[in-house]
Amino acid sequence: MFDAIVIGSGMSGGIAAKELCERGLKVLVLERGGDVQPADQTDWMQPWQLPNAGMIPEAELAADYPVQSQCYALSSATKQFFVKDSEQPYQTPADKAFSWIRGYHKGGRSIMWGRQTYRLSEMDFSANARDGVGSDWPIRYADLAPWYDHIEDFIGVSGSMEGLDQLPDGVFLPPFELNDGELQFKSAVESSFPGRKVIPGRVANLREAREHHRAQGRAPCQVRSLCERGCMFKAYHSSLNTSLPAAERTGNMTLVTNAIVHSLVHDPATNRVTGVRVIDAQTRAGTTYEAKVVFSCASTIGTAMILLNSASEAQPRGLANSSDMVGRNLMDHMYQLLTIAVFPDGPDSFYFGRRPTGFYIPRYRNLDGQHEEFLRGYGYQGGFSRNGGPGQVIGQPGLIGEELKAEARKLGPWTMFLGGFGEVLPNPENRVTLYPTLKDKWGLPQAHISASMGENERKMAEQIQRDGRAMAEAAGGIVVTTIDQPGPFGLGIHEMGTACMGKDPTTSVLGKWNQTHDVPNLFITDGAAMASSGCQNPSLTYMAMSARAADAAASMLAEGAL
């Protein structure tokens, strides 16, 4: 028997494993996908070494990756990190479709995440109580602040101190500086729109490697922007680069790959989870592992599926589901609300390398007593680049020799992309259930995912686009492209909320320590735990909750409370 089982080896599972192991617990980590070795990462490959110049043939995309191909990061260099939709089916209605982007392997999606790293604020943790939407968080910012500190110091976050209540500062490495085009935009926006700030994007890439990062075998970011392929320098945080190796160094972790969790074993006499039923992905053999505590970090939808598939006579609606909230309140962020503009009068300069981040505009709506036509708010992520250079002329017919060299030295105008990320409200009708008849090749019920955005999101999206255009034009830009409708639900790849935290066990699944209300030794610390989404990228919050819950669980075990 293990002290603890952690389901999932990705963003939250890696941190949960690290923290539990460092507290001296013997921990089993179950990963449904295969192992990943350094050779599986492809950041070392030059463009001419990539199959099909990085592209995937259209027939293969249509057959195997119809959903995953919606993600910008899918290419011939990264497809090993994405599931084949043909092998991992799920169901979704046409009028409430959900794009589920997945990676089943050691380290999970932490290998190819976007690395934008922001804290939620006190405003975000009190939003549900203030607005009367969703379940009131059982924690507030002060409860999570020291764990944000703990995680930021461990993973390494590059960012700037800004003193904003709606976007708390953290434990930062020096930021990746704004380039000259972005600095000009920053000056124009901040002078034209009081209350708005343009700051360097906060990113989990090492601007510099501190001593404890070097001790982990990590080096500073090489400014190549190939992060979705992996990183031989370990310059960005992933479960593969940092948290799992830290757990391994304790000697307390056992990792089993190709271990698909079927369900949890619940003892109604003690009301405790006693083990995890697993199917070997390759042999389809069944195994049950036993432990004193279970952490589900299987991803928002994966965790909901496991709980629902663990229904029993004692818990007929699914394990830990007396509230009927498991699978409900599925959230994402509004995504792809783009404004693209050119700046013909930008600065006559260039920049070095390809930073792993750009700029960020923190939320500025519904602050300090403001009242919009919609609840909550949004932020923007964006960046400036300059057209021209060798990449624009090589291969053009008729250009050779000196003429080619002269054209390659010419630079065009600066171009800006600006993307709004808006908060999606919790809605119990946005839901994950198990399909009653269709099963996958391992005999498990397929997920049925039904989600749509509402009137609040529609009004917010319209304002996001109005503001994007206004800021671009105020800075001297000419808007050339806009996308006025959010991308498909799920394509923000920030799914969360299917086993939400709350104070009231009748309207939520988890309490203040990420313990399920119904089963005391079952903890959930992935995105399923979120009671609201904020508009900030959520992975840092998942990791902070995981560390906090692991510390609490270890203490409860030591005290005999579990």
What pLDDT digit, counting tens, does each position of 382-414 carry? 999 998 766 666 667 777 788 777 777 788 899
Q: How far is 120 from 423, CA to CA, in rounded Å? A: 12
At residue 331, the pLDDT reads: 98
Tokens 């908060």 belong to residue: 423
Positions of the chain with pLDDT lower than 70, given as ranges:
389-395
Contact 206, 175 (CB under 8 A): no
* pLDDT in the model for residue 371: 83
CA 381 to chain CA centroid, Å, is: 15
- The structure tokens listed for 549 are 């819950």
Taking CA atoms, 143 is separated from 22, 122, 137, in Å, by 21, 10, 11
What is the model's pTM? Answer: 0.96
Output phi, psi for 524, to 5 deg: -130, 120
Which H helix or E strand runs over 319?
none
| Region class of 496: left (phi > 0), else alpha (psi between -120 and 50), else beta | beta
d(CA 201, CA 199): 6
Angle at 448 between CA 127 and CA 291, to 5 degrees: 75
Rounded Cα distance between 195 and 188, Å, is 13
Are the C-beta atoms of 11 and 547 separated by less than 8 Å?
no
Q: Which of 293, 309, 291, 311 is nearest to 301 (CA)?
A: 309
Q: Find out whether 200 and 176 touch, Cβ atoms under 8 Å.
A: yes
Domain spans of the chain?
Answer: 1-36+105-158+203-331+494-562, 163-168+175-201+333-424+453-488
What is the per-residue pLDDT for 369? Answer: 74
Yes or no: say if 409 and 386 are a contact pair by the CB < 8 Å rule: no
Pairing of strands 2-7, 27-30: parallel
What phi and psi values does residue 451 have, to the nearest 5 degrees?
A: -155, 145
- Specify the DSSP element, H or E, that contains 544: helix 539-559
Contact 517, 323 (CB under 8 A): yes
Q: Give the separation between CA 418 and CA 359, rounded to whole angstroms.
A: 9
Q: How far apart are CA 208 and CA 157, in angstroms?
A: 10
Indicate the fold that domain 1-36+105-158+203-331+494-562 takes in CATH.
FAD/NAD(P)-binding domain (3.50.50)
Q: Which helix (H) or strand (E) holds 431?
A: strand 431-439
Burial class (CB in 10 A: 0-12, 13-18, 19+), 425: buried
Position 391 scores a pLDDT of 62
Helical packing angle, 455-474 and 180-192, nearest 10°: 110
- The pLDDT assigned to 103 comes to 97
Tokens of 282: 């390759």
Please name the helix (run of DSSP H) or strand (run of DSSP E) that holds residue 59, with its range, or none: helix 58-64
pLDDT at 394 (0 to 100) = 63
CA within 13 Å, CB half, 468: 32
Torsion of CA 538, 55, 35, 8, to 10 degrees: 20
**CA–CA distance, 14 with 240 (Å, rounded to integer):** 8
Closest residue by Cα to residue 293 from 549, 15, 529: 549
Amino acid at 440: D
| Residue 153 DSSP code | H
CA dihedral 181, 187, 189, 194 (to 10 degrees): 160
